[in-house]
Amino acid sequence: MHVVIVEDQALLREGMVALLAEHGIEVVATAEDGPGLLRIVDGYKPDLAICDVRLPPTFTDEGIRAALEARARHPTLAVLVLSQYVEPAYTAELLAGGESGIGYLLKERVSEVGTFVEAVRQVADGGTALDREVVSALMRDRTGRSDAAIMIESLTTRERETLELIAQGRSNAAIARELVVTLGAVEKHISSIFTKLDLPADDDDHRRVLAVLAFLRATAEGGPGPLSG
Amino acid sequence: MSVGYLRQREPALPWRERTMGDPAGLLACIAALIVLVVGISTRSYQPHWPMVAPAVLLGVALLAGPVVSHLADRSLSHPARVAAMVAALAVLVLGLWNAPIWASRWPELDPAVILGVALAGRPLVHVLRQRSIERSAQFVASLAALVAVVVSGAYVFQPRWQAMLVAVLLSGGMAAGPAIWRLGAPWSRLPVERACAVAALTVLVVALEHLGYWGPKWPELVPAALLGAGLAVAPVIQLSRKWSLEEAVWLASAGGALVVLVVAIGQGVVPSWSLTIAAGLVGTGLFLGPAARHLAVVWPGGTVETGTAVTALVVLLCGLASAPYWTPRWPELVPAVILGAGLAVVHLHAWLGSGPRERVLSARVDQLSRTRRGALDVQASELRRIERDLHDGAQVRLVALSMKLGRAEERYRHHDAATAALLREAREDATAAIRELRELARGIAPPVLTDRGLLAAVHSLAHRSGIEVRVSGDLERRPRPAVETAAYFVVAESLTNAVKHAPGAAVEVRLDERGGDLLVEITDFGPGGADPSGGGLTGLRQRVEALDGALHVTSPAGVGTQVEAVLPCMW
């Protein structure tokens, strides 16, 4: 797996390179700003870009813009955005830029090393990994207004919890650990979720992404659409 | 130093101070009473006295209007409002009762009637529909204009239809003006303004084409034309130049007055020149009033007000000097005189009252306003800088620390469980510190506000609120940071209140530019009955008033709660 990192803070950049190296993930290049990301993406054709949101020169949202631009140029590039804040607007923009290979995590999740590395692999493989804070913000009680919302509402509490964890990019084993249930029980929940969301039998990874998207569409209703620029 | 710093809106006064301290209101009421008594008791004017009615209606409605609209937010059954409505209704009934006298001349009353109905009727509609006063005004004016057009069509009063158009233009401009600004966003502002401008121009051209008909009488249309042109053209000027509404109205009406004067002199309408003067008096008083006060701050020393007051006096003297001409026709001047005199006295009062002490005070107020604005701007930028420093400094260090702790925990996990547990606790502490720091930074200056502006930040708030919030808005420019932050916290606090007191209710947030102001409106359809003097709302009011803005809370029980903040921006 070829990974590039865009982070203007050397302390974090070097820390992440070391952390990923310890888990056998090679960082092929690093950059400090948006144009740097586009340069190394064009040059190294990596599988995954890990990207900070606030970058020079204005320290606002260059990271998001650069990541979207990189995705537009290389649609197969997976992008994992790290931020000190979680904003629904950015989530919407990122998801509008593609259906899979998208992650959006709070920076401090990096310290939960096992989970973080799992999320990195998940996103690089075309999955979705959203921070539990984004997910819980979206998950808060909203009255159903569409088919997708009604389908989500038909889920049991356990199934919702499972879906939340899938949206965070967890594997079945990790979900079983988190919910303190057996792997078999998790598989049962997941197959029930697929049935309730009316997802066709396909390979499981694809269905997982579709379930997450259905969930996001249902819960993000009434919020902002993708912002331009 | 920018001139914009000096332009301050008048401070919001309690209604009692507004009415009692306003000599124009007092004088106009007295004048209206005198005219009414004289008109009724003067035998020779008996067939003419109904002409007085429109004047009184107009005067009462115009002057009571601001008071009434102000009171509408406070108590729906205030005696002043009821009195204004009763007066308006009484005058209407009297006018209808005297219909035979007007049978042959009624179109001449149209401008006054439409205007009067619109202004007097809006409190009524407001009460009936619990809607905003501007929307009600627009509704009533449109209805009145429609009725007038239909009625005049039925009478086949063809030679006079121009008068009708002028009346419609007049009332449309007056009543639709504020409404258009307010409704701008949902109706997509530009087309409405353009339609208004095109309509106004069409009417003006048509009126000019029919000069032949109006020949000896056309000056009688001058007041209406002047008013209507000023009000209808103002949005266009403001649209193209981004001026304040006051400046635009002033410019438009000044231009209109000039054209009228030149045409009047060119046509040699000698016996009618007094009418032109009366029109000028109305126009000057009405339009220069706000503009003069506005400009007086820009040009300290009150020179504009002085000039206006002198002009008004000269016009009054001219009117008196030409009294013989008007003797048999004087009632026709009554509306103009009442209005003009009332407003001219305001300027006179301001002129006489602006001694050296006032000028010193005025300069001091300017200075304080300027420095306060500067202090608030510095504060807003400082807060954003602190947030950025936290982000780039302490937060980065803590994230790096927690990352290292996480790596150490991984290494120890398999051979030293106790150390691994300790490291895990240390990492969790660091993560908790990061979280607390993040919440602190968000409370100081939300990054999405800095990065993406007000609309995106409000969308983010709506998302976070956990309730159904519809956000609409159309902001072409970003207000300065102090205003942006205040607007953000108005929305944040109002949404928190809505979640707390109106759970499950639909909430609408609207952001809009209105003239030089930023309008923020949060409406929930919950149980209402909020206490405007409650802690949270008082804090918001202080925040908004520190920026010379105004915060209105309307919360009738069983209907819902509307929080409206108007923040002057000057962009």
pLDDT in tens, B63-74: 444 444 443 443
Determine the distance in angstroms separating the CA of A220 from the nearest CA of chain B, rounded to an integer: 8
Strands ordered across the beta sheet of B469-473: B469-473, B507-514, B517-524, B561-568, B550-554
- Return the structure tokens found at B318: 């001219």
Q: Is A222 close to B468, i.e. CB distance below 8 A?
A: yes
The closest of A57, A8, A49, A53 to A29, measured between CA atoms, is: A49
Q: Is B464 close to A107, i.e. CB distance below 8 A?
A: no
- DSSP string over B181-234: HHHTTTT-HHHHHHHHHHHHHHHHHHHHHTHHHHGGGGGGGHHHHHHHHHHHHH
| CB under 8 A, 24+ apart: contacts of B255-258 | B256/B225, B256/B226, B256/B229, B256/B230, B256/B283, B257/B226, B257/B283, B257/B284
Q: Letter for the amino acid at B65?
A: G
Name, of B70-79, B276-285, B344-353, the range with top average pLDDT: B344-353
CB B171 within 8 A of CB B190: no
The closest of B50, B169, B175 to B125, measured between CA atoms, is: B175
Q: Letter for the amino acid at B562?
A: Q
Chain B residue nearest residue A61, CA to CA: B451
Determine the distance in angstroms separating the CA of B435 from the nearest CA of chain A, rounded to an integer: 9
Tell me the torsion sign for CA atoms B77, B22, B225, B296. Answer: negative
* pLDDT in the model for residue B334: 52
C-alpha span between B123 and B130 (Å, rounded): 10
Would you call B122 exposed, middle or buried from its count of C-beta atoms within 10 A (0-12, 13-18, 19+)?
A: buried
Per-residue pLDDT tens digits for B244-266 = 544 554 555 555 555 555 555 55
Average pLDDT, chain B: 62
Which residues of A lie inside 8 Å of B (Cβ-Cβ)?
9, 11-12, 15-16, 18-19, 22, 54, 59-61, 84-85, 87-89, 107-108, 110-114, 116, 137-138, 140-143, 220, 222-224, 227
Lowest mean pLDDT among A6-10, B366-370, B397-401: B366-370
The pair phi, psi for residue B519, each rounded to 5°, is -105, 125
CB B566 within 8 A of CB B482: no
What percent of chain A shows pLDDT beyond 90?
30
Determine which of B459, B461, B471, B476 to mutate to test the interface with A (most A C-beta atoms within 10 Å). Answer: B459
Q: Is A88 close to B469, i.e. CB distance below 8 A?
A: no
* Mean pLDDT across B480-508: 89
C-alpha span between B57 and B63 (Å, rounded): 10
DSSP state of B157: -
Please tell me the total number of residues recorded for chain A in this structure. Answer: 229
pLDDT at A207 exceeding the cut of 50 = yes
Q: Is A227 close to B456, i.e. CB distance below 8 A?
A: yes
Q: What is the SS3 string spanning B232-292?
A: HHHHHHHHHHCCCHHHHHHHHHHHHHHHHHHHHHHHCCHHHHHHHHHHHHHHHHHHHHHHH
- Return the structure tokens found at B483: 């205003």
CB B515 within 8 A of CB B568: no
* pLDDT in the model for residue B213: 45
Of B391, B451, B468, the CB nearest to A61: B451
Please tell me the total number of residues recorded for chain B in this structure. Answer: 571
Of B396, B427, B459, the CB nearest to A223: B459
C-alpha span between A136 and B273 (Å, rounded): 75
Chain B residue nearest residue A225, CA to CA: B459
Which ipTM was obtained for this model? 0.73
The closest of B14, B18, B26, B134 to B74, measured between CA atoms, is: B14
Determine which of B402, B403, B444 to mutate to test the interface with A (most A C-beta atoms within 10 Å). Answer: B403
Pairing of strands B550-554, B507-514: unpaired
- Return the structure tokens found at B528: 């209402």
Per-residue pLDDT tens digits for A45-102 = 999 999 999 888 878 888 888 998 998 899 889 999 998 887 777 877 787 766 688 8
* pLDDT in the model for residue A12: 93
Helix (H, G, I), strand (E, B) or coil at B73: coil
Determine which of B402, B451, B525 to mutate to test the interface with A (most A C-beta atoms within 10 Å). Answer: B451
| Chain centroid, CA A90 distance in Å | 12
The closest of A100, A105, A103, A96 to A126, measured between CA atoms, is: A100
pLDDT at B534 exceeding the cut of 60 = yes
Determine which of A87, A91, A104 to mutate to test the interface with B (most B C-beta atoms within 10 Å). Answer: A87
Of A22, A87, A223, the CB nearest to B407: A22
The pLDDT confidence band at residue B337, using thresholds 50, 70 and 90, is: low
Number of Cβ within 10 Å of residue A110's Cβ equals 26
| CB under 8 A, 24+ apart: contacts of B55-58 | B55/B112, B55/B334, B55/B335, B55/B338, B56/B32, B56/B91, B57/B87, B57/B88, B57/B91, B57/B92, B57/B95, B57/B112, B57/B113, B57/B116, B57/B120, B58/B112, B58/B115, B58/B116, B58/B335, B58/B338, B58/B339
The pLDDT confidence band at residue B472, using thresholds 50, 70 and 90, is: confident
Determine which of A16, A19, A82, A84 to mutate to test the interface with B (most B C-beta atoms within 10 Å). Answer: A84
Q: Is A16 close to B403, i.e. CB distance below 8 A?
A: yes
pLDDT at A228 exceeding the cut of 50 = no
Q: Letter for the amino acid at B529?
A: G
The closest of A220, A97, B461, A113 to A105, measured between CA atoms, is: A113
Q: Is A88 close to B463, i.e. CB distance below 8 A?
A: yes
Q: Is B396 close to A12, i.e. CB distance below 8 A?
A: yes
* pLDDT in the model for residue B351: 53
Of B388, B397, B470, the CB nearest to A222: B470
Tracing tokens 């890990």 back to the chain, one arrives at A50
C-alpha span between B289 and A106 (Å, rounded): 57
| Chain centroid, CA B249 distance in Å | 13
Q: What is the SS3 string spanning chain A?
A: CEEEEECCCHHHHHHHHHHHHHCCCEEEEEECCHHHHHHHHHHHCCCEEEEECCCCCCCCCHHHHHHHHHHHHCCCCEEEEEECCCCHHHHHHHHHCCCCCEEEEEHHHHHCHHHHHHHHHHHHCCCEEECHHHHHHHHCCCCCCCHHHHHHHCCCHHHHHHHHHHHCCCCHHHHHHHHCCCHHHHHHHHHHHHHHCCCCCCCHHHHHHHHHHHHHHHHCCCCCCCCCC
Per-residue pLDDT tens digits for B343-380 = 455 545 555 655 567 667 777 887 888 888 888 888 88
CB B270 within 8 A of CB B217: no
C-alpha span between B512 and B183 (Å, rounded): 9
Q: Is A60 close to B451, i.e. CB distance below 8 A?
A: yes
* Mean pLDDT across A141-150: 46
Angle among Cα A51, B381, B440 to the nearest 5 degrees reads 60
Chain A residue nearest residue B453, CA to CA: A60
The pLDDT confidence band at residue B401, using thresholds 50, 70 and 90, is: very high
Pairing of strands B517-524, B507-514: antiparallel
User: Which pTM does this prediction carry?
Assistant: 0.51
Of A19, A59, A140, the CB nearest to B388: A59
Contacts of A54 in chain B (CB under 8 A): 391, 447
Q: Is A110 close to B470, i.e. CB distance below 8 A?
A: no
Of B402, B442, B468, the CB nearest to A143: B468
Instruction: Supply the angle between the helices A132-139 and A157-167 in degrees, to the nearest 10.
Output: 140
C-alpha span between B226 and B259 (Å, rounded): 10
Per-residue pLDDT tens digits for B7-64 = 333 333 333 333 333 444 455 455 555 555 555 554 444 444 444 444 444 444 444 4
pLDDT at B84 exceeding the cut of 50 = no
* pLDDT in the model for residue B290: 41
CB B543 within 8 A of CB B567: no
For B484, residues 6+ apart whose C-beta sits below 8 A from its C-beta are B380, B449, B453, B454, B478
Number of A–B residue contacts, CB under 8 Å: 108
The pair phi, psi for residue B510, each rounded to 5°, is -130, 130
C-alpha span between B413 and B417 (Å, rounded): 6
Give me the residues paired with residue A27 across strands. A3
Region label for A198, one of left (φ > 0), alpha (ψ between -120 and 50) or beta (otherwise): left
Number of Cβ within 10 Å of residue B212's Cβ equals 7
Chain B residue nearest residue A110, CA to CA: B403
Give me the residues paired with residue B226 across strands. none
CB B470 within 8 A of CB B521: no
Rg (CA), chain A: 17
Chain B residue nearest residue A13, CA to CA: B400
Determine the distance in angstroms separating the CA of A222 from the nearest CA of chain B, rounded to an integer: 7
Q: Is A9 close to B392, i.e. CB distance below 8 A?
A: yes
Tell me the torsion sign for CA atoms B157, B158, B162, B165. Answer: positive
Helix (H, G, I), strand (E, B) or coil at B104: coil
* pLDDT in the model for residue B258: 55
The pLDDT confidence band at residue B450, using thresholds 50, 70 and 90, is: confident
C-alpha span between B21 and B262 (Å, rounded): 38
- Return the structure tokens found at B445: 């200056």
C-alpha span between A49 and A6 (Å, rounded): 7
